[in-house]
Amino acid sequence: MMLAKKLWAGIGALIVLSPLGLILPDRFKAGTAWGEWGVDEIQKMRGSVPQGIQKLSDLWKAPLPDYAFQGWEGKDLCHSSFAYFISAVVGIAIIAVVALFIGKVLVKEHE
């Protein structure tokens, strides 16, 4: 049981630290977080968008695009950090529920 508590404490720490992905690039005027570029940002950086990325860019629509709530686009860093925090909590909760469900199904199969 001690291992599970350490795991949840580590996950909690990562949730609390998740707004750093917004704060640090903003503080150092670095643009968006590395690897979180949209098609428009890739266009600005490279001058063109690879055909494969362009083709797949509309395949997935995130439930919380840009980790923000609808209507919060362009809000200040405090609001954006709160939305990042909530996105982390919601994402981890969904993953935990799915993992627990799969675990219960697998345990029932082996009984």
Query: What are the pLDDT digits (tens) for 20-62?
Result: 878 888 888 877 777 778 888 889 889 999 999 899 988 887 7
Whether residue 13 is contained in a domain is answered as yes
Asked if residue 55 belongs to a domain, the reply is no
What's the pTM value of the predicted model, to 2 decimals? Answer: 0.68
Q: Is residue 70 part of a domain?
A: yes
**Domain for residue 14, yes or no?**
yes
Is residue 57, in this structure, part of any structural domain at all?
no
87's CB contacts (< 8 A; 6+ apart) are 18, 64, 67
Residue 28 Cα to chain centre, angstroms: 21
Domain boundaries, position 94: 2-35+62-109
**Predicted confidence (pLDDT) at residue 105 exceeds the cutoff of 80:** yes
Q: State the total domains in the chain.
A: 1
Residue 94 is assigned to a structural domain of this protein:
yes
Predicted confidence band of residue 18 (pLDDT cuts 50, 70, 90): confident
Cβ-based neighbour number of residue 23 at 10 Å: 15
Residue 46 lies in a domain: no
